[in-house]
């Protein structure tokens, strides 16, 4: 059993540049801001969605609707993981019918979280399109789900972990690869 080893994948400046690029790509994907709604997945996805929304707002001079989604109650593994003690807030801004919803999450791995998010969004309305924007795509999908906008693509082994830290919750902006037990 080796000690956990941390390697920095993105430092604060690299993270900032990745988010700027992601903001531009989101805007290209949605052809402007008219129907755009950004929805972050609890917890770090909510902060990242907020950052991307702020960047787009600064460039476009608009106010973007954004929301938060906690997918805990839509998970398919309640039996095995046990109840998650704290369920985060779910906040959907207005009616989603006809909107282009961009789901924002920190790490894309098996795809099960996104599957749950898609199910949950469907209970709030019928967006005309849903896209997926993630800061890190670490591979290892168990479902046919692919991201539309990616901050960094990196192949990570199952026993390794990607830690996304954001200033608002963790005191610094950084993405680390953690290996070992």
Partner 1 sequence: MTPVLGKDLVGLEHLTSEQIRLVLDTAEPFKEVSERPIKKVPALRGKTIVNLFFEASTRTRISFEFAEKRLSADTVNVAASGSSVQKGETLVDTARNLEAMRIDMVVIRHPSSGAAEFLARRIRSNVINAGDGKHEHPTQGLLDLLTIRDKHGKVSGLKVCLVGDVLHSRVARSNIWGLLKMGAEVGVCGPDTLMPRGIEELGVCRFRRIEEAIEWADVLNVLRLQLERMESGFIPSVREYYRVFGVTLERLEKAPRQLTIMHPGPMNRGVEIDSRVADGPHSVILDQVTNGVAVRMAVLYLLAGGRPELADAAKGPAGGGGGGSE
Dihedral, CA of residue 91, residue 94, residue 99 and residue 103, to nearest 10? -10
| Candidates 9-17, 65-73, 137-145, 173-181; binding stretch for partner 1 (CB under 8 A) | 65-73
Tell me the per-residue interface mask from 4 to 43 with partner 1, x by CB under 8 A, - otherwise: ----------------------------------------
CA angle at 19 for the pair 16 and 68, rounded to the nearest 5°? 120
Residues 67-126 interacting with partner 1 (rule: CB under 8 A): 70, 72-75, 78-83, 85-90, 119-120, 123-125
Residue with tokens 């593994």: 77
Tell me the per-residue interface mask from 124 to 163 with partner 1, x by CB under 8 A, - otherwise: xx--------------------------------------
CA-nearest of 101, 136, 109, 119 to 29 is: 101
* Angstrom distance (rounded) from CA 71 to CA 178: 25
Give least dist CB 40 to partner 1, A.
16
How many chain residues touch partner 1 (CB under 8 A)? 22
Structural contact between residues 50 and 66, judged by C-beta atoms closer than 8 angstroms: yes
| Residues found near partner 1 in the complex (CB under 8 A) | 70, 72-75, 78-83, 85-90, 119-120, 123-125
């Amino acid at each position: 059993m080796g000690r956990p080893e941390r390697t920095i994948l993105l430092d604060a400046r690299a993270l900032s540049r990745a988010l700027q690029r992601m903001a531009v790509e989101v805007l290209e994907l949605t052809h402007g801001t008219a129907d755009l709604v950004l929805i972050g997945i609890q917890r770090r996805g909510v902060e990242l969605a907020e950052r991307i929304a702020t960047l787009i707002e600064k460039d476009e001079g608009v106010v973007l609707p954004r929301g938060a989604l906690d997918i805990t109650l839509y998970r398919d593994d309640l039996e095995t993981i046990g109840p998650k003690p704290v369920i985060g807030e779910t906040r959907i801004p207005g009616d989603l019918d006809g909107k282009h919803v961009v789901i924002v999450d920190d790490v894309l791995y098996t795809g099960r979280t996104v599957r749950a998010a898609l199910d949950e969004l469907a209970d709030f309305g019928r967006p005309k399109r849903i896209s997926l924007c993630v800061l890190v795509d670490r591979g290892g999908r168990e479902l046919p789900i692919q991201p539309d906008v990616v901050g960094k693509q990196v192949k990570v082994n199952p026993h390794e972990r990607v830690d996304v830290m954001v200033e608002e919750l963790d005191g610094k902006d950084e993405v680390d690869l953690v290996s070992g037990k």
